[in-house]
Amino acid sequence: MTGANKGIGFEIARLLAERGITAVIGARDEERGRAAAERLGQPYVRLDVTDPASAQAAAKWLEEEYGALDILVNNAGITVWQDDPRPSVTGAETFRQVYETNVFGVVTVTNAMMPLLREAPAARIVNMSSELGSLALAIDPDSPFWPHNYAAYNSSKSALNMITVAYAKELWDTPIKVNAANPGYCATDLNAHTGFRTAEQGAAIAVRLATLDADGPSGAYLQDDGTVPW
Ligand code: NAP
């Protein structure tokens, strides 16, 4: 689990641990990560998703400790606060910064973990997307998301959605399932706690997708009450 030291990631780890699943707390900051792991009584591994060496080191540690990985939750994500998030005034550097974590970080971690995921009997990969990544909702003037034109963040989650589909297709003939989760608008540090849902509520869909049985979907974009339009 990436970005598990706080927010929705912490709640996903807590809920998985409640089910008796070992939830390894991946976090880039050792102090924050270890503190969260201690609170949950779960193991910690250092993992900065923007650093391929850190992802490889985490994979090596997981291999030595467990030999396989049943669940990968790519939860770590950032946004960059801008007074004006419109694309015409958003520099490529801002896109790059957000994509580094939300897009490239997911690829880095997933590829580092792939040999371990293949070792598990039926691994599940959950990518924390957002309703703001939905192209269909973004372009619908009647959608509540129409006004929220955060070009860098929103497009990073659209890219993540396609990456989810790409991995699901590659792994179609294996027991591994890959899905994108929309947690809804949850009060966390990401949005200065303006969300109207709790982090625990946001975590529920990820937990469901992390524990899907064999007839569950792959390559889907899901929230609590069903699919999100792409
Ligand atoms: P949050 O409280 O800000 O937590 C984000 C987590 O990601 C933190 O643990 C953070 O670690 C970690 N992180 C950031 N960059 C990282 C990196 N390079 N390597 C490893 N970890 C990194 O935000 P959240 O709301 O729980 O967000 C979790 C996920 O849900 C994100 O992908 C977000 O886009 C998505 N999401 C959130 C909402 C919402 O309403 N909150 C809605 C839709 C989607 P540090 O503590 O070290 O910064």
Distance CA 183, CA 204 (A): 8
Which of 44, 99, 150, 157 is catalytic? The answer is 157
Q: Which residues line ligand 1 (CB under 6 A)?
A: 2-3, 5-9, 27-29, 32, 47-50, 75-78, 101, 105, 128, 130, 183, 185-186, 188-191, 195, 199
pLDDT tens track for 69-120: 999 999 999 999 998 989 999 999 999 999 999 999 999 999 999 999 999 9
pLDDT reported for residue 140: 98
DSSP 36-85: HHHHHT--EEE--TT-HHHHHHHHHHHHHHTS--SEEEE--------S--
Domains and CATH numbers, the chain: 7-227 (3.40.50.720)
pLDDT band at 149 (very low <50, low <70, confident <90, very high): very high
- List the beta bridge partners of residue 128: 181
Active site residue 167: no
Helix, strand, coil content of the chain in percent (nearest 5): 50, 10, 40
The SS3 assignment for 1 reads coil
pLDDT band at 141 (very low <50, low <70, confident <90, very high): very high
Pairing of strands 124-128, 71-74: parallel
111 phi-psi bin (left φ>0, alpha ψ -120 to 50, beta other):
alpha
Query: Is 60 tagged catalytic?
Result: no
Q: What pLDDT does residue 40 have?
A: 98
Three-state DSSP class for 126? strand
CA dihedral 52, 57, 58, 62 (to 10 degrees): 140
CA distance 47 to 2: 7
pLDDT of residue 30: 97
What is the mean predicted confidence (pLDDT) over 152-170?
Answer: 98
Between CA 153 and CA 90 the distance in angstroms is: 11
What is the Å distance from ligand 1's center to 166 Cα? Answer: 23
Query: 160 near 129, Cβ under 8 Å?
Result: yes
pTM for the whole structure:
0.98
- Read off the amino acid at residue 123: A
